Amino acid sequence: MPKPGERLQRWVFQEVLGTGSYGTVWSAWEAETARKVAVKVIDKSGLDESHLAGVRLEIEILGRAVHPYIIRMHDMVETDEAIHIVMEYATGGDLYHQISLHGPLREAEACRLFAQLVIALHYCHSVVLCCHGDIKLENMLFDSVRTRNVKLVDFGLGSLISESRVLHRHRGTPAYAAPEVIANSEDGYDGPAADIWSAGVVLFVMLCGYLPFEDESFFGLSDKICAGQYEMAATVSKEAQDLIAGLLDVDATERFTVSDIMVGLVLH
């Protein structure tokens, strides 16, 4: 793993920003321009072939994605020991810490951020032809404290989608997972529809300040998700409640699509 001040090609490491299951994120700068970046350092020794393939898929997806609401990959450097994904540096923190510290958002602000998330997902599903696979508060960064625009990050559980849209990778964060993902059917599930469910959970938390489905056990959580029953905060408007109900429809074929959501946001 790198050390502060160590240089990798044109990138100079600064400090650790966070640590995950398979890698560490560092702040760094470009030696020639002093541009600040974030570098995801993934230790190859801790990866089996399946996880390594997932990392390479994440790099492929990020290489295709050029969008204002998706984190931009600047470079990728692979050594014998590690894979380094160099990305733009988002300075505004993440949505999880924002809500943990300050509680639910005002509806207008939640609507603005949700619209940006949906626009990013539309781009992923229709242009990049991928699903994110792990939409959650922690994976929504703010570009800066001043502008607070969404930067969708961490495509480590992403999947490329074919014309059938059917996926079989049953991963993601359980509290945000759609019922059809939780069910783990051999028939697979519609990838974009599962992303939309997760986006619905995000909108719910932005407005209520808590998750719609919680339980101490995975089996209890699964039962609640598959039943699709939740308690909405009384402060949420009727229009937002209707939107969330359409996003958290347990029947994926009846769930709102990106087009439905965009029309609803414009009318709202």
Active-site annotation, residues:
134
- For residues 55 and 72, give the distance between their C-alpha atoms in angstroms, rounded to a whole number: 16
- For residues 174 and 164, give the distance between their C-alpha atoms in angstroms, rounded to a whole number: 24
CB 130 within 8 A of CB 61: yes
Tokens linked to 184 = 């783990």
The Cβ of residue 69 has, within 10 Å, a number of other Cβ atoms equal to 21
- For residues 206 and 267, give the distance between their C-alpha atoms in angstroms, rounded to a whole number: 20
CB 122 within 8 A of CB 258: yes
The tokens 């609507």 sit on which residue?
111
Q: What are phi and psi of 88, to 5 degrees?
A: -60, 155
> Where would I find the beta strands (DSSP E) of the chain?
7-8, 11-19, 23-30, 36-43, 73-78, 82-88, 130-131, 140-142, 150-152, 159-160, 166-167, 189-190
Measured in residues, the chain has a length of: 268
H/E segment holding residue 50: helix 49-64
DSSP state of 33: T
For the chain, first and last CA: distance in Å? 49
- For residues 181 and 170, give the distance between their C-alpha atoms in angstroms, rounded to a whole number: 6
